Structure 1
Amino acid sequence: MLKISSQFDSGAIEVVSLADAQNIHLKIRCDNASPFSQWFHFRLLGAKDQDCVIHFDNAASSAYPDGWSDYNAVASYDTENWFRVASDYDGQTLRIHHRPERESVFYAYFEPYSWERHMRLIGEAVEASPLCESVHLGSTLDGRDMDLLRVGVEMPGKKNIWITARQHPGESMAEWFVEGLLETLLDPENSVARVLLEKAVFYIVPNMNPDGSVRGNLRTNAAGANLNREWATPTMERSPEVFLVRQMMLETGIDAFLDVHGDEAIPHNFVAGCEDNASFSAHQASLQAAFKASWLATCPDFQTEFGYEKGKFGPETLTIATNWVGDAFDCLAYTVEMPFKDTAKRPLPEVGWNGERSRQFGASVLLPLLAVVDQLR
């Protein structure tokens, strides 16, 4: 007998029909207080050695239907090792084709990053180095902790580098990115990290949206707020996550800022800066160019050919974290985007873009930060 469940951390799906293994029909569930839909994460039981065809009947009405083209879902038997499974999209319905080798198999839009792993990341980072301290910023609407990691010794003259991730909870690759960055930054034998920490203090928020992450939302928090449109006027009632982080930013000041995301449709890693800000300065332009040139020269997974078109966000521009920070602090400010799909230029079809590749990409960003750290002020 077939069974599908999603009552677990980041689980999300609606069952339409489980008539037989080759004709499973599901709907992608909307965020709890918003019409955004794209994220799914569920467990299938009882389909071992059966040729399964899983239909997502409402894929065409999802938030980003262009994301389904050339996309393959991820699967795991143990929730630790994830692999890609054949999927196709006909413009209306997304289908997964898979023959499970076990009685229990998990499927997801992207390799999840659990709340338990998040809590372990915070604890292990603090234990890894006396230079790392956990700062409690406050609580979310669901009562979860907003965690910030401060890495480095605060001293006059040091630069303040801020990194935030996972404003959109379904973009779990963003927290994998932070995990890889932290592992490298806290390595006492890594010369790049040592030099950076002589010159800068890092303020890192690994998960900006804990409630949305646990609830299995794609893009919003418990109140239905898209946090990356809340930066101009956040409130504790609607977007406490942004309010609390922004408050701390105003206390410390910012010399460089990275906000880490995932993009549904574009099969490349890229950055988006502050060019659309009326306040965009020659100083920012110089920093952006130097940062991109260094990352391009040192990381084959980074590219600058593909990305967002100019003016993409229109009147929403200064409600977005990167643009608000760039405007408020006249600093280097970039949104980092990674794909949900594979990378088009250097694909690895068995796993696609995944958690481990995101971790390595996160570690690689320290070199371009080193290249510009002396120019930040």
Structure 2
Amino acid sequence: MLISTAFDSGNIEVLSADRPDNIRLNIRKDHQSDFYQWFHFKLLSTAEIEHTLIIENASGSAYPKGWEGYQTFASYDRDTWFRVPTSFDGSKVTIQFTPEQESVFFAYFIPYSWERHLDLVQWAQQSSWVEQKVLGTTLDGREMNLLVIGEPAEHKRSIWITARQHPGETMAEWFVEGMLEALLNEDEPVSRQLLEQCVFYVVPNMNPDGSVRGHLRTNAAGVNLNREWKTPTIEKSPEVFHVLNMMDEVGVDMYLDIHGDENIPYNFIAGAEGIPSYDDRHAQLEASFRAAYLQATAEFQTTYGYDKDEPGKANLTVASNAVAERFRCLAFTVEMPFKDNDDLPEPYQQWSDVRSQQFGRDTLRAILAVAPRLR
């Protein structure tokens, strides 16, 4: 029996693997951080025998309630993923699975590799609408890719999309992939209308180092990038530093920061109600976008989500709050589930890469609905 994590985003520690029915594991913490929940590993063993894999340190993870009702992803070919029986007793997570083949991969959510990321930005670059920029490098020396989509002009709105500030939230980059496929489709009327009015600035992966290292929430320095937007530094958070510099250069009329939520089994957005400059115009724009999102896709809802900040009490280190205040613009955090959308449950894959991609495509319709009113 072999358990391996020697690949992009691999994360697990083997405590014991002497018997298929008693494999004991721990999830490795993010580097220089106490955050952990993301796992991704390969099991090579005997087919057609039931295996019991126990994650011993599940209760100490970043979001222990996230394990309630959660089902692990598995794949034989690393392309098609499916859920496997998983339980949580309040202390340990237990995965029970009888593999049909000798090797199988397991992951907290469907991985989005750095190689796929590089393929995505090179594919997008083939469009005449796209310019690829490198804003700078990360602490591990990886590039910070920005896709500029559309021809900048004075009358056009600047729409910013960032994803995977928290690297374990891989659904965010699947969302961006789906959104880009629709936005760069010359036969898609919504995209043509959008690019007549807007220029899109898309950062598909805000945290390349954490992604490759198999982190849940932090970069190579153990820093949560979504708490760095007030005063980012080259030393700790170059990813935010470079993106914010570019935002200052071109401006922001609308900003969506794409995430995944471990606990809440719904798609939802968090606005900027608590920022100091929040006013009636901002409130009306937020209401318009929520209404447009509800019209754009049945996957979205407004009943469940985070509590709203009290007036003037927003955390301005958080990206959507910081950008909304800095640029007096419409800004949201978009959250997708790790489990399923309980409004539209799907037992085989639950929330997945495919549904994340479609959610990204559908989001363009909501953006189009509010674009004329962003200035």
Q: TM-score normalised by the shorter chain: which range applies?
A: over 0.9
1:201 is matched with 199
How far is the alpha carbon of 1:276 from its aligned partner? 1.5
From 215, 218, 238, the equivalent of 1:217 is 215
Q: Indicate the residue corresponding to 2:317 in structure 1.
A: 319
Alpha-carbon shift at residue 316 of structure 1 (Å): 7.0
C-alpha distance in 2 between matches for 1:241 and 1:261: 16
Map Cα deviations across residues 56-80 of structure 1 (whole Å, 9 max, x no partner). Answer: 0010000100000000000000111
Which amino acid is the alignment partner of residue 189 of structure 2?
A: S
**Cα offset, 1:206, TM superposition:** 0.1
In the alignment, residue 374 of structure 2 is paired with which amino acid? L
Aligned to 2:244, what secondary structure does the other structure show?
helix
- 1:363 counterpart residue number: 361
What is the rounded CA distance, in whole Å, between the counterparts of 1:315 and 1:233 in structure 2? 18
Name the residue aligned to 1:4.
Answer: 3
Deviations 1:184-214 (A, max 9, x none): 0000010000010000000000000000000
Partner of 1:299: 297
Report how far residue 298 of structure 1 moved. Answer: 2.1
Distance 2:197 2:339 in 1: 36
- Matching residue's letter, 2:99: P
- Structure 2 match to 1:265: 263
Once structures 1 and 2 are overlaid, which stretch shifts more, 271-280 or 117-126?
271-280
Alpha-carbon separation, structure 1, partners of 2:361 and 2:279: 28
Q: Quote the residue 1:233 is aligned against.
A: 231
CA distance in 2, matches of 1:311, 1:193: 33
Q: Report what 2:36 is aligned to.
A: 37
The answer for the alignment partner of 1:165 in structure 2 is 163
| Aligned-partner residue type, residue 371 of structure 2 | V
Amino acid at match of 1:35: D
| Counterpart code for 1:148 | L
1:46 is aligned to 45
Deviation at 1:271, TM superposition (A): 0.1
Q: Distance in 2 between matches of 1:257 and 1:302?
A: 18
Q: Distance in 1 between matches of 2:295 and 2:45?
A: 49
Q: Does 1:86 align with 2:98?
A: no
| Contact 2:272/2:314 (8 A) holds in 1 | no
Q: Distance in 1 between matches of 2:197 and 2:307?
A: 34
- Deviations along 1:86-112, one digit per CA (max 9) or x if unpaired, are 100010010111100111100000000
Which residue number corresponds to residue 245 of structure 1? 243
1:278, CA displacement in angstroms? 2.1
Equivalent residues of 2:132, 2:148 under 8 A apart: yes
CA distance in 1, matches of 2:265, 2:193: 33
Code of the residue aligned with 2:232 in structure 1: it is P
- Residue 26 (structure 2) aligns with: 27
Q: Distance in 2 between matches of 1:6 and 1:284?
A: 46
RMSD: 1.2
Counterpart residue type for residue 91 of structure 2: Q
Q: 5+ residue gaps in structure 1?
A: none
Conserved? CA contact 2:262–2:339, under 8 Å: yes
The alpha-carbon deviation at position 320 of structure 1 amounts to 0.3
Q: Are the equivalent residues in 1 in contact too, given 2:83–2:348 (CA < 8 A)?
A: yes
Identity %: 55
1:258 Cα deviation (Å)?
A: 0.1
- Partner of 1:241, secondary structure, is helix
Question: In terms of mean alpha carbon deviation, does 194-203 or 280-289 score higher?
Answer: 280-289
